[in-house]
Amino acid sequence: MLTMEIAGLKLKNPTILAAGFLGTSASILKRVADSGAGAVTIKSIGPEPREGNPNPTVLCWGEGLMNAVGLPTPGYKNMTREWAELKDISVPVIASFYGGSISEFVEVAEAIVENKPAMLDVNIGCPNTKKHGAVFGKDPETAGKLINKIKEVAGSIPVMPKLTPNTDNMLEVAKACVDNGADAIAGFNTWGPGMVIDVNVRKPVMGFKTGGISGPAVRPLMVKGIYDLYEKIDAPIVAVGGIMYGTDVIEAMMAGATAVEIGSGIHYRGIDVFSKACSEMEAWMKENGVKSLEELVGSAH
Amino acid sequence: MLTMEIAGLKLKNPTILAAGFLGTSASILKRVADSGAGAVTIKSIGPEPREGNPNPTVLCWGEGLMNAVGLPTPGYKNMTREWAELKDISVPVIASFYGGSISEFVEVAEAIVENKPAMLDVNIGCPNTKKHGAVFGKDPETAGKLINKIKEVAGSIPVMPKLTPNTDNMLEVAKACVDNGADAIAGFNTWGPGMVIDVNVRKPVMGFKTGGISGPAVRPLMVKGIYDLYEKIDAPIVAVGGIMYGTDVIEAMMAGATAVEIGSGIHYRGIDVFSKACSEMEAWMKENGVKSLEELVGSAH
Amino acid sequence: MPTDFPQSYRLTGVRKLTPTVKAFEFAHEFDFVPGQFIMVWVPGVDEIPISLSGPNQITVKKVGEATNALHSLKKGDYIGVRGPYGNGFSIPGHRVLLVGGGVGIAPMKALAQYGEKDFTSVIGAQDKTELFFRQYFPGLHMCTDDGSAGEKAFATVVAERLLKDRKFDAVAACGPEVMLKFLFQICEKANVPAYFSMERWMKCGIGVCGHCSVDPTGWRVCKEGPVADGTVLRNSEFFQYKRDQAGREVEL
Amino acid sequence: MPTDFPQSYRLTGVRKLTPTVKAFEFAHEFDFVPGQFIMVWVPGVDEIPISLSGPNQITVKKVGEATNALHSLKKGDYIGVRGPYGNGFSIPGHRVLLVGGGVGIAPMKALAQYGEKDFTSVIGAQDKTELFFRQYFPGLHMCTDDGSAGEKAFATVVAERLLKDRKFDAVAACGPEVMLKFLFQICEKANVPAYFSMERWMKCGIGVCGHCSVDPTGWRVCKEGPVADGTVLRNSEFFQYKRDQAGREVEL
Ligand SMILES: Cc1cc2nc3c(=O)[nH]c(=O)nc-3n(C[C@H](O)[C@H](O)[C@H](O)COP(=O)(O)OP(=O)(O)OC[C@H]3O[C@@H](n4cnc5c(N)ncnc54)[C@H](O)[C@@H]3O)c2cc1C
Ligand SMILES: Cc1cc2nc3c(=O)[nH]c(=O)nc-3n(C[C@H](O)[C@H](O)[C@H](O)COP(=O)(O)OP(=O)(O)OC[C@H]3O[C@@H](n4cnc5c(N)ncnc54)[C@H](O)[C@@H]3O)c2cc1C
Ligand SMILES: Cc1cc2nc3c(=O)[nH]c(=O)nc-3n(C[C@H](O)[C@H](O)[C@H](O)COP(=O)(O)O)c2cc1C
Ligand SMILES: Cc1cc2nc3c(=O)[nH]c(=O)nc-3n(C[C@H](O)[C@H](O)[C@H](O)COP(=O)(O)O)c2cc1C
Ligand code: FES
Ligand code: FES
């Protein structure tokens, strides 16, 4: 009832584990797959080992999380055992990755492609390091060039850039990616970033001072972004941002998404947020006489 | 204990009623002043009568409001009685206004100036009409030129542009305004905009489809923006966005604000949110041995 | 889950009460005080304030775009609702005179049904076809402008007579503002406290936009109201002027 | 108010317990289960997981940057805390053997104090100066590596002997992972259920980042843990390897 296809990936349901959540090892990815996710994403892989930012790196400030984990990674060279074990996972495994330059992105992509992930999730939207991430996602030309180069080494593996919402150029960046061969577009990485100051201590609380905002508080911003993307680009869209309930998934689809990622929802509803959202979708579909999710995509336009 | 001065305005406390909240008539402004606000702002005045967008125009979606009131206004020509009655208000009355072109802005400013408000709040950040608002707040050159022209007619009345946070150019816009004579900077108008779709109905809920986001959900984004402004510009800053508690005011001040505006807080805490926040500030100041608010401004840097 | 956000529910029943008035029931029960209202979203059209005539019921007169669109909906269609908002009726004493004029009968029905007072009721309309909900009103006096049902008189006239005949602790009313204007003069003369459900243009419905606030106190119809007592009504803009959708003052 | 956000409270007391361990009390009481931990923000430095040794108390060994900074704080200074997190000890049966090694004594003190079981306790440290909280442990057996206090032996050896002598329903322990490794073998041999408080590198502390999860089940130390029983410990990465701050595997 919930099956979907996106960029050639067949999903038993449209809920995907968002990058950076619980994606640190094969065993936890397997656990998430067993909790009902339609696909899972490996935490963004970088070119060299990286410790990330000092704690606090992830906080919940109410109706949202705030994070500046800072892309810690063992580095693609230290993941051989992990890759071997990923073979046991019953759903598609997507690989998220990043670099500090176009050539680093390509270097990492090449290494990852050898392990045949189901999709490449290109992280051009992370606001939590100075050198990586969003710097590649704010300028259409740079983003287009990057995707072009990655497509050259990706072979038959679909390539999905994950956008930052924090730029006037969001739609132009998306268009440049699609024009350069992106097979799908994911929207979005975290918002802001934001900052919280402890008034007693008189200091920003996050170790990195700031942190990208995610979770229910950003859902309306995500929906608007997906709605706009659907009208402007010609590629399947994966919605990310504040999705927690079955009706949130349906809302994102009506705005234009073909699938969704769930991250912060794990904090609010538990690791089984995937299967919970899926049962809620099924209940809603029955109540509203909807047979297939496909008819919902873009239906709010 | 809570007195502050900003751009020549002496405030008994640093909490100001945000534009567009309860500012529709002299009588409700008076009521807000009597509820403890340090200053009040008249709802943005436009050149011609305008009905605004169809309902729903203001909704609460959880930890935030969403609005697309769409700048309804009787028009500056229909406010003679209102201005006369404003004289009775015991705190400074700030006039917010907008136009659809630089010359319209100037036309409205000229008319308003005759009534001698305490400050001109220039609305260049509203995302809820196509022709007004944020179009003037995204390009530094346009914003600078606008402020320049308004300063020419403002005489001794201080001019404060209110920025949109939704642009890569936010800091450059602020700088252009200050370079052209802005006496203070207010940050920010609403975020996004966002959208919520009703899945049963399969339509965006807002009458305007989208709505700008405000309230507690945006506070971390506001704090980060104020923190950045404080490091980049040389003018007093008024913080706006999600402020509800005394510690929120203090947090904004530590980030760099000299005063704050409160809007959505009225929904969450009532019309007396101003006096509530002020008592909380006083309690905190006693507990932390702080004698004057001035020492807090920018102290988290 | 959001609280002040329109939640969509299916209409479970639509009943024509008069040529211009329909009662709509929806699949959600509000815990409410009679006199409270909800904001009713007619998808794709508008959102308007409507009093609850029952926990899951609104009763609406067709007067313009939104109410016309509402009247075209059928059982099974969705509407969005949020609320309940406002103060509702809170009336001291026991013997209460109820007065409902036109579609103002609707909220008075809720008060008659759930109010637990010793009610005497007056309901009035243009003609026989426009009177509805009569079965809910205890001690009923009906009147019509043309005498086609009940007494041929304005509801204010009937109310004035009743107030002379007997002692009431309070008058509760809803109806066109001109009717309420005269009724208030009658109450003041008879020295009986008035509790009137009032209307002003609403945008937010939650007390933040200021659009429904009235001079000279800034009393918000959506928050402190919609039920106003004498202290609010006396020396106010009520019965004199109001503000339109743009905020311009217009004569009553 | 945020729940999973560091709240700053003043230190109300700082006590030196050993040359390397201090107890810190702060102006907030957590409602907690012994074995649960909090994330402690040392402003401007780092945020680290620390077990609660009491409702408003943590007991911390100086081992690096954050713990050094914490040790430099005085009464009246602010720290930030969030939590309590994790499962805490939930031990079936009645006769429980408590084993605490080094600063692992701290959470065991909370269990001894609030656990309401028939406890027999073993606490061990390098030498006499590093033993603390002894007054809280019923049926206490002390041991030191150098014999300067109590028995000259590892805690594991004392525990093994006690398990032979008497019947226990369970063993609860906290301490260096190598100590726990041997203790687990002893428990398995003696066929007594083990409940060990474990450590892994933590970033979020709320179960979302995955950094503290262990092979092969993805069990999260911060969420399903930190107290692991035999089903979790057996055939797991515990006692073999762990992940560092970057996520690289390192030998124990
Ligand atoms: C507290 C309150 C309770 C009400 N209860 C009922 C009820 O139980 N049954 C009923 O039939 N009607 C009720 N009304 C009136 C109802 O809101 C209007 O009839 C309706 O909004 C008309 O909308 P329209 O688009 O059909 O007409 P339009 O042509 O748009 O407007 C006709 C008139 O309706 C009023 N109106 C329109 N929009 C609004 C608005 N957003 N806020 C306030 N008034 C508006 C104005 O007076 C306007 O001139 C109530 C109004 C208020 C304020
Ligand atoms: C659930 C749990 C409960 C704990 N309870 C206590 C306690 O009650 N008392 C006590 O003294 N210590 C406790 N610890 C250990 C404590 O967290 C570390 O000693 C502390 O983090 C060291 O930080 P540092 O900056 O001083 O040292 P560093 O030099 O940064 O690190 C030294 C070692 O401490 C550990 N460590 C550092 N940061 C972290 C982190 N974010 N998450 C996990 N481990 C880390 C690593 O093993 C590291 O190699 C506990 C750890 C966990 C996981
Ligand atoms: C703790 C945390 C870590 C994240 N790490 C990554 C990452 O490594 N790569 C990436 O592309 N996005 C990362 N993100 C962004 C999420 O994948 C996602 O885009 C964002 O959180 C919005 O979705 P949500 O509201 O469902 O969490 C991270 C977010 C959080 C909160
Ligand atoms: C209902 C509503 C109406 C508003 N109208 C205006 C306006 O007319 N002019 C303006 O400059 N800002 C307007 N704003 C923006 C607010 O003044 C303020 O910048 C924003 O809401 C963030 O502050 P808050 O979180 O305290 O509400 C409006 C906001 C809301 C929610
Ligand atoms: S309708 Fe907005 S204040 Fe009443
Ligand atoms: S520390 Fe993040 S999952 Fe445990």
pLDDT one-digit tens code per residue, C4-29 = 999 999 999 999 999 999 999 999 99
How many domains, chain C?
2
Query: What average pLDDT does this structure show over D218-226?
Result: 97
User: Percentage of chain B with pLDDT > 90?
Assistant: 86
Are the C-beta atoms of residues D125 and D201 closer than 8 Å to each other?
A: no
Ligand nearest to the CA of A190: 3
Pair C64, C174 in one domain? no
* Structural domain ending residue among the three candidates D28, D57, D85: D85
Which among B61, B73, B263 has the least Cβ separation from residue C246?
B73
Atom of ligand 3 nearest to the CA of A20: 5
Q: Are residues C77 and C120 in the same domain?
A: no
CA-to-CA dists, residue A259 to A11, A15, B67, B280, angstroms = 9, 6, 28, 46
Q: Is residue C152 one of the residues assigned to a domain?
A: yes
- Please report whether residue D42 resides in a domain: yes
Q: Residue B77 has what pLDDT?
A: 85
Domain check: are C131 and C178 in the same one?
yes
Query: What are the tokens at B161?
Result: 């542009």
Which residue has 């705190």 as its token pair? B91
Spatial CB neighbours of B79, under 8 Å, sequence gap ≥ 6: B45
| Average pLDDT across chain A, whole number | 94
| pLDDT, position D231 | 97
C130 and C246 belong to one structural domain: yes
Q: Choose among C5, C208, C218: nearest Cβ to B31.
A: C218
What percentage of chain D exceeds 90 in pLDDT?
96
Q: How far apart are the CA of C212 and the centre of ligand 5, in A?
A: 5
Give the strand pairing for A237-240 and A259-262: parallel
pLDDT for A204 beyond 50: yes
Residue B88's pLDDT band, with cuts at 50, 70 and 90, is confident
**Is B60 one of the annotated active-site residues of the chain?**
no
Averaged pLDDT of chain D: 96
Q: Ligand 5 center to residue C30 CA distance, Å? A: 21
Residues of C in contact with B26 (CB under 8 A): 215
Chains A, B: CB pairs < 8 Å: 113
The ranges assigned to domains in chain B are 4-295
List CB contacts of B258: < 8 A, sequence separation 6 or more: B4, B6, B14, B184, B236, B237, B238, B297
Hey, which chains touch B, using 3+ CB pairs under 8 Å?
A: A, C
pLDDT band at A80 (very low <50, low <70, confident <90, very high): confident
- What local confidence, expressed as pLDDT, does residue B134 receive? 72
Taking the CA of residue C87 and the nearest CA in chain B, the distance in Å comes to 15
Residues 6+ apart with CB under 8 A from B261: B15, B16, B17, B18, B19, B41, B186, B238, B239, B240, B243
The nearest alpha carbon in chain B to C242 belongs to B25
- Residue D2 — pLDDT band, cuts 50, 70, 90? very low
Same domain membership, residue C117 and residue C38:
no
Query: What average pLDDT does this structure show over D82-106?
Result: 96
Q: How far is CA A98 from CA A48, A137, C167, D151, D247, in A?
A: 10, 12, 82, 55, 16
CB contact under 8 A, B266 and C245: no
Could you tell me if C76 and C111 lie in one domain? no
Taking only the tens place, the pLDDT of each residue in A27-63 is 999 999 999 999 999 999 998 888 889 999 999 998 8
Residue C2 has a pLDDT of: 38
Q: Which of A21, A59, A61 to mutate against chain D (most D CBs within 10 Å)?
A: A59
C90 falls within a domain = no
ipTM of the complex: 0.95
Look at residue D157 and tell me if it is in a domain. Answer: yes
Cα-only R_g, chain B: 18
Nearest-by-CA chain D residue for A69: D203
Amino acid C129: pLDDT: 96
DSSP secondary structure code for residue A153 in this structure: H
- Which chains does A contact via 3+ CB–CB distances below 8 A? B, D
What is the D49 CA–ligand 2 centroid distance (Å)? 6
D194-197/D213-214 β-pairing: unpaired
DSSP string, B242-281: S--SHHHHHHHHHHT-SEEEESTHHHHH-TTHHHHHHHHH
Question: Measured between CB atoms, does B55 come within 8 Å of chain A?
Answer: no
Name the minimum distance, in Å, from the CA of A255 to any CA of chain D.
27
Domain end among D19, D54, D85: D85
Confidence of residue D1 (pLDDT cuts 50, 70, 90): very low
Tell me how close the Cα of D70 comes to any Cα of chain A, in angstroms: 14
Which ligand is closest in space to the CA of residue D211? 6
List for chain D the helix, strand, coil content (%; round to 5): 20, 35, 45
Note the Cα B40 to chain centre separation in Å. 10
Domain, as residue range, for D196: 95-251
Is D128 inside any structural domain?
yes
In a domain, D120, yes or no: yes
Would you say the CB of residue D49 lies under 6 angstroms from ligand 2?
A: yes
**Which pLDDT score, from 0 to 100, does residue B7 have?**
95
As a whole number of angstroms, the distance between CA A298 and CA A77 comes to 41
Q: What is the pLDDT of residue A264?
A: 98
Q: Which positions in chain B touch A194 (Cβ < 8 Å)?
A: 219-221, 223-224
Of D192 and A81, the structure prediction assigns the larger pLDDT to D192
Confidence of residue A115 (pLDDT cuts 50, 70, 90): very high
Residues D186 and D65 in one domain: no
Return the CATH number of A4-295, one of 3.20.20.70, 3.30.420.40, 3.30.70.1230, 3.40.630.30.
Answer: 3.20.20.70
Contact B194 A227 (CB under 8 A): no
Give the ligand 4 atom nearest the CA of B133: 11
In a domain, residue D90? The reply is no
Low-confidence residues of chain C: pLDDT under 50: 1-2
Listed in sequence order, the residues at least 6 apart from D171 whose beta carbon sits closer than 8 Å to its beta carbon are: D96, D97, D98, D99, D159, D163, D183, D187, D192, D193, D194, D195
B184-240 pLDDT per residue, tens: 999 999 999 999 999 999 999 999 999 999 999 999 999 999 999 999 999 999 999
- For residue D127, what are its two tokens? 């030498």
CATH code assigned at D51: 2.40.30.10
CA B119 remoteness from chain centre: 12
* Residues whose CB falls within 8 Å of the CB of residue A207, separated by 6 or more in sequence, listed in order: A53, A54, A55, A56, A57, A68, D46, D47
The beta-strand segments (E) located in chain A are 4-6, 9-11, 15-17, 40-45, 58-60, 65-67, 93-97, 119-123, 159-163, 185-187, 191-194, 197-198, 203-204, 211-214, 237-240, 259-262
**Distance between D129 CA and the closest CA of chain A, angstroms:** 32
Q: Look at D43 and A203 and tell me if their CB atoms are within 8 Å.
A: yes
Is the CB of A61 inside 8 Å of chain B's CB atoms? yes
* Per-residue model confidence (pLDDT) at position A135: 79
- Tracing tokens 């003369």 back to the chain, one arrives at C189
Cβ-based contacts of D246 with chain A (< 8 Å): 49-52, 72-75
Q: Is D130 contained in some domain?
A: yes
Cα A38 from Cα D5, distance rounded (Å)? 31
Between D2, D204, D246, which is nearest A74 by CB? Answer: D246
Domain end residue (candidates: D46, D65, D85): D85
pLDDT of residue B222: 98
Distances from the Cα of D188 to the Cα of B78, B160, D65, D149, D161, angstroms: 87, 73, 37, 29, 14
Q: What percent of chain A has a predicted confidence (pLDDT) above 90?
A: 86
* D133, D228: one domain: yes
How far is residue B284's CA from residue A36's CA, in Å, rounded to a whole number?
47
D210 lines ligand 6 (CB under 6 A): yes
A205 chain-B contacts, CB cut-off 8 A: none
- Measured CB to CB, residues of chain C less than 8 Å from chain B are 2-6, 8, 10, 39, 41, 43-48, 78, 80, 82, 202-211, 213-218, 220, 243-249
Strand partners, C39: C49, C82
CA B188 to centroid of ligand 6, rounded, Å: 35
Res B37 pLDDT > 90: yes
Interface touch A216/B299, C-beta < 8 Å = no
* C-alpha B44 – ligand 4 centre gap (Å): 10
Residue B292: strand pairing partners: none
Is the overall model pTM greater than 0.90, yes or no? yes
Asked if B27 and C217 come within 8 Å (Cβ–Cβ), the reply is: yes
Statement to judge: residues D61 and D144 lie in one domain = no
Q: What is the pLDDT of residues A140-192, one digit of tens each?
A: 999 999 999 999 999 999 999 999 999 999 999 999 999 999 999 999 999 99
- Residue-wise pLDDT tens digits, B55-80: 999 999 988 999 998 888 888 888 88
Do D and C touch (≥3 CB pairs < 8 Å)? no
